[in-house]
Structure 1
Amino acid sequence: MALDPAFLDELRARTPIASVIGRRTKLVRSGRNWKACCPFHGEKTPSFYVYDDHFHCFGCGAHGDVISFVMQSEGRSFPEAVAELAAQAGLDVPRATPQQREADQRARDLTEVLDLVQAAWMRRLHAPEGRAGLAYLRGRGLADETIAAFGLGWSGDGRGSLLAELQPHGVTQDLLLQAGLMRVDEDGRPRGELFFNRVIFPIRDRRGALVSFGGRILGDGQPKYLNGPETALFSKRRTLFGLDRARAAIRAPRPRGAPPVELVVAEGYMDVIALHQAGFPGAVAPLGTALTAEQMEALWQIAPAPILCFDGDAAGQRAAVKAAETALPLLDVNRTLRFCTLPEGEDPDSLLRARGAGAVAALLDGASPLGHVLFDLLTAGVRDPGPEQRAAIRRRLTEVAALIGDKALAAEYRATLLDRFFATYRRANAGPGRRGGKGPNGGTHGGLNGGARIEAPAIPPAAPFAAGDAAQERMRILTAILLRHPDILPEIEDAYCRLDLPPVLARVRAAVMDLAAGGDLGGAEDLAARLDAAGLAGDRALALAADPLPLALSAADTLMAVEVRQEWWHFYALLNVRQFGEDVRLDTERLCAGTLDAKSWASLRTRLLAWESLRRGDTLTEDA
């Protein structure tokens, strides 16, 4: 049967072609694309190139998309290749049922309806009734060629004239309703046209097919911008305005020496259209909502590092933070985001009209990678935070880094964020006599990680722990074990940093992490001396004052009968037994699925032993 083109597009979008081809031949980066020796003919010099959605061999002429690659490389038929890729992508191949054939026909009917509506609205824009809309668009600096290229229109007064105009073409009120062009009452019955007295912006999918409309009202009416509802053709969270044009521009051959077309995400219709007109044809925008995971996947199908260019106001800042948080679980070493910061109060459209394309080009050229701006996004507005705020910020930073699914990349982000944290809130604020950071003239005070010893000012005695608080006592024991056995830090670091420690222990932890960020912590005695030199002798003594002492602390530096790491995880588990058990269960499943490496298995083994000890009711101290 003929498969629905929308299903095939979804399949291609969910199946990165580079990952499929990379299973059969070694790919290496070539600019924003990949190249390899062709798997279809013998060659020593790579002439096989893989782009965002197709491949081409300049040696033998092999060409196609991810489906045709599976067909050619594995000798499969089209249905077999589709079935294989759909199973890998978690999609069900549509069956040739009467209902499916009816749905396909309905989609074709709706597409024809939308095309007829757009043609009618384009005519109205240039008729007397659309005079105000045309004046608005020209007043925003759009040329008539741009207005025509984007198919902009005018909806009219919405009093039934659209239906009357299209009825000779077989368009009914029900078809307009299914196409998302009618308002409905509480019972779902149509009660008038959705768009009236609005400038119209056609919305197209990545193939360029018309799927819906957006409209801007003139004057002070609300809502200022209105998008069509979800329909059989239109999913707001999967669609980006201008993606079809941006995709074509990025894929188009460029003159030798010409810079590549950047994929730029702006906030609105007018931003995208103004950017295209000014020579930035890679501009797209979400449809009045925050960027979704599906939209980011669509962006990464075209470019590995799109630029987010949000408005320079508080709303734009919030949109940038939201986009970063949405992107983090999806990042890997081959796809990320860049951020372009606009002047406060400006958007791309206003900036182009005020300062020209050169100013926008300079801002885009200076776009910063997500790893460089994430700290600033998460700490915007924070000034001179106290200890509690610093602890909260640090916890937030580690939690955000932990969102990244790629563990190696997550570790790099975490290290980068904590480096910025220490540089901003500790070293940069250290005054004379404090260790770390730079002085007012840029000179370096010998940091915690080396240099001459400088006595720190006395720190007021720490407040005692809450009496009878078992959780705080266990946190103190965890800290004490680490201080006596700092070599365990790499294994327990993430878990330890997620704890909401009391201030005394939080200061010790921050200093230990500061030292770790600069290199090896050394042994227990060396660590103690460096903490004391930083003015934390009193805090360190309180952390080591656990009574009764766990066996790992009462021993010298040998493990004796108790394995230190197991004991640390034992006390950690006691803070939240149920959550610890769930974490161990999930990591065990990952191990069985083959997604844990040897290092991760070593950590899991220790936690399993601690978990078994808890299940048996074993205790290592009276406090446990």
Structure 2
Amino acid sequence: MTITPQWKDELRARITLSSVIMRTDKLTKAGREWKGCCPFHDEKTPSFYVNDQKQFYHCFGCGAHGDVISWMTEQRGLSFIDAIKELAAEAGMEVPAPDPVAAKRAEKRAELIDVTTEAQDWFVEQLRGSAGREALAYLNRRGLKPETLREFGFGYSPESKQALPTALPRFEDHMLVEAGMRIRTDDGTTYDRFRGRVMLPIQDARGRVIAFGGRILENRDGVAKYLNSPDTPLFDKGRTLYNLHRASPASRQTGRVVVVEGYMDVVALAQAGIKDAVAPLGTALTEMQLEMLWRMVEVPVLCFDGDAAGQRAAMRAISRALPMLAPMRSLSIVRLPSGMDPDDLINDRGVGAMEKLLAEPKSLLDTLWEFERDAMPLESPEAKAGLKKRLMEHVDTIGDPDIQSLYRRDLLDRFSAFAYPPRQQAKRGPWRGPAAAPKTLSNGARSTLQKSMSGGQRSDLLGAVIAGLVRHPGEISRHSEALIELARHDQSAAPAIESLIELAETLDSRIQTAISAEQGFPAPPVDNRYAFLREGTPPGEAREELAEAVSLLAHKPALEAAMAATIARFDEDPEGSFAEQARLRQQLMTVDERLKAFGRKKAGSDTARDENSVSSDS
């Protein structure tokens, strides 16, 4: 299928953008445009504008921008092709025909969806009839409400091996086999795959039934508790997430997606009001499933049972994710109390306990460190060396060089603090300069730093960060890679960063105290607006805020450059470009919010200082 730019232009011309948006969001007329509150971020004052003549929408608050196609993909959650098909039907246009092989494949999928759809209807009927009495009692004992059973489409498959051909007579036996509903043996006989099981439909992103999961009513030796459909032309378990079609719109409201171990966990959470949960289907998370999750949110929350199996599942997911990490794209991990799954926790302690855990997940980095640290006793140098080796093997799998470097540094710092705890040392006096003959900071570098700290730079935060690094010079080398990346994307920051690197080369690597003017360096200011520039701030707090500020400064221009590159390749790969733009735009929004938080902190400090000044004057 070839969607040309000319065809898309014709499609946009036939669709009134404002009318599409007003199906879900309120707009009011504003001259030649329409305006309203942005659907992509929370706001009280409208900053979202729609221009039908120019065929685009734009939010001046969060920067969301696009046309009717991107609206369907980003706000409605459709794939590019599904958005094109829906809009084309509305506009009365024919979508360019796919090649013959793809057309035959699509026809086959449509036929098999008819099979699974009718099978689903029949399973639901069985649960409501006499054959499903025991299954319905089992579901009631598990505490599932009637509305939950209806929403998730619970059904029942009778014990008979030949029930489906009688129940679905219009479909030939080979179609039932191809849809995964029946099994063909080597001698050519066939029988029903699901027998005597509570049935759950597995649906695609559009809500169409493509497969099934079945659970036995009571545990029996040699019988699998859960049984899923095999891979078919409809169903690829490595490319499917259970409940995605419900969780995706919920996730756009919560800004979160929760990944649990099985579909009954999803059902339990949904019944308790947590609607943004999905589950893999009997396998560890795959690369494709991780990509699907990252299209929804930057940091999905993985929620695992609190037993050894749950811990191993968390590590399998982490190992799969490490090579795929990217700026503002990671995972967070929640471990449930030992011996509990989500249903147990909610029944025992209430949904509030579950929400509290989900609100305070551990980072991927913390989980990785704790798992390897606790994997075996560390009572000998050899065991400690083994810990370091395992950590570095994980780090070596990370594809992004900046993230790999940051993980390496952080994990080595943790390992050093753990393996070589600090000894009591006599207090050291103020630093008086390197013991050996130091390099001297050039006059030009000294002048550049002085100018950046006194407000001569374009960014007020950049000036504060430069001053913070002069006040805490031991942090310069720690953040050198992020600073160099910032200089690469922001030429206005390059001179000050070059001077900082030059400053770092003049220092004893152990130095932590501020550089003073008497030592030939510009004196860092004392400024209550930021913790890293306040007198008396605990070193850990100062380093933490300074690290966040450096990260923000480096990330935003890098993301903007990535966005420009993605937009430039739109004509070559429209669907991929749309998905990547959505992901990058979400990341930019997050960075902007964090930058605003720094701004609010600054404004709050300024206000407090002014009030104190007025109080002193009076």
Q: Distance in 1 between matches of 2:339 and 2:420?
A: 32
The one-letter amino acid of 1:171's match is F
The one-letter amino acid of 1:96's match is D
Q: Distance in 2 between matches of 1:407 and 1:331?
A: 10
3-state SS, counterpart of residue 64 of structure 2: strand
Q: Distance in 2 between matches of 1:195 and 1:303?
A: 35
1:475-554 counterparts in 2 under 5 A? none
Q: Distance in 2 between matches of 1:36 and 1:315?
A: 47
Task: Give, in angstroms, the shift of residue 379 of structure 1.
Answer: 2.6
1:580-591 counterparts in 2 under 5 A? none
Report the counterpart of residue 96 of structure 1 in structure 2.
99
Pick aligned residue for 1:360 from 354, 369, 388: 354
3-state SS, counterpart of residue 281 of structure 2: coil
Contact residue 55 and residue 64 of structure 1 kept, 8 A? no
Q: Distance in 2 between matches of 1:250 and 1:398?
A: 34
Sequence identity (%): 36
Moved more, 377-386 or 203-212: 377-386
Report the counterpart of residue 173 of structure 2 in structure 1.
173
3-state SS, counterpart of residue 301 of structure 1: helix
Report the counterpart of residue 159 of structure 2 in structure 1.
157
Contact residue 56 and residue 65 of structure 2 kept, 8 A? no
1:376-395 counterparts in 2 under 5 A? 376-395=370-389
The one-letter amino acid of 2:172's match is T
1:266-281 counterparts in 2 under 5 A? 266-281=260-275
Q: Distance in 2 between matches of 1:214 and 1:62?
A: 30
3-state SS, counterpart of residue 329 of structure 2: coil
Q: Are 2:299 and 1:305 equivalent residues in the alignment?
A: yes
Q: Which structure has more RCO (C-alpha within 8 Å, separation ≥ 6)?
A: 2
Q: Distance in 1 between matches of 2:59 and 2:255?
A: 31
Q: Are 2:399 and 1:405 equivalent residues in the alignment?
A: yes
The one-letter amino acid of 2:320's match is T
3-state SS, counterpart of residue 305 of structure 1: coil
Report the counterpart of residue 215 of structure 1 in structure 2.
214
* RMSD, aligned α-carbons: 4.0
Show CA shifts across 1:360-394 (max 9, x none): 01111111221222201223333333111211211
Q: Distance in 2 between matches of 1:278 and 1:197?
A: 28
Contact residue 37 and residue 47 of structure 1 kept, 8 A? no
Q: Distance in 1 between matches of 2:76 and 2:148?
A: 33
Q: Distance in 2 between matches of 1:115 and 1:42?
A: 38
Task: Give, in angstroms, the shift of residue 241 of structure 1.
Answer: 0.9
Change in Cα spacing, 1:311 to 1:390, as seen in structure 2 (3 Å) is: same
3-state SS, counterpart of residue 114 of structure 2: helix
Q: Distance in 1 between matches of 2:75 and 2:275?
A: 29
- Structure 2 stretches of 5 or more lacking a match? 4-39, 85-90, 432-476, 479-503, 512-618
Q: Distance in 1 between matches of 2:106 and 2:243?
A: 25
Contact residue 77 and residue 249 of structure 2 kept, 8 A? no
Task: Give, in angstroms, the shift of residue 422 of structure 1.
Answer: 1.5
1:108-507 counterparts in 2 under 5 A? 108-167=110-169, 170-186=170-186, 189-221=188-220, 222-251=223-252, 260=254, 262-427=256-421, 436=422
Q: Distance in 2 between matches of 1:406 and 1:265?
A: 24
Show CA shifts across 1:257-307 (max 9, x none): xxx253101111110000011011011111111111111111111111110
Q: Distance in 2 between matches of 1:414 and 1:213?
A: 43
Show CA shifts across 1:150-204 (max 9, x none): 001001113312210110xx112111101001122236x3521000000011101
Task: Give, in angstroms, the shift of residue 310 of structure 1.
Answer: 0.5
Q: Matched residue pairs, number?
A: 388
Task: Give, in angstroms, the shift of residue 65 of structure 1.
Answer: 7.3
Task: Give, in angstroms, the shift of residue 44 of structure 1.
Answer: 9.6
With normalisation by structure 1, the TM-score equals: 0.56
Report the counterpart of residue 91 of structure 1 in structure 2.
none
The one-letter amino acid of 1:414's match is R
Task: Give, in angstroms, the shift of residue 112 of structure 1.
Answer: 0.6
Contact residue 217 and residue 225 of structure 1 kept, 8 A? yes
Moved more, 314-323 or 408-417: 408-417
Change in Cα spacing, 1:66 to 1:105, as seen in structure 2 (3 Å) is: closer
Q: Distance in 1 between matches of 2:186 and 2:343?
A: 38
Contact residue 204 and residue 244 of structure 1 kept, 8 A? yes
Q: Distance in 1 between matches of 2:175 and 2:48?
A: 49
Contact residue 301 and residue 331 of structure 2 kept, 8 A? yes
3-state SS, counterpart of residue 308 of structure 1: strand
The one-letter amino acid of 2:213's match is G
Q: Distance in 1 between matches of 2:77 and 2:216?
A: 44
Contact residue 36 and residue 47 of structure 1 kept, 8 A? no
Q: Distance in 1 between matches of 2:353 and 2:217?
A: 29
Report the counterpart of residue 602 of structure 2 in structure 1.
none
The one-letter amino acid of 1:192's match is Y
Change in Cα spacing, 1:329 to 1:344, as seen in structure 2 (3 Å) is: same
Q: Distance in 2 between matches of 1:447 and 1:217?
A: 68
The one-letter amino acid of 1:118's match is Q
Report the counterpart of residue 49 of structure 1 in structure 2.
64
Q: Distance in 2 between matches of 1:447 and 1:384?
A: 31
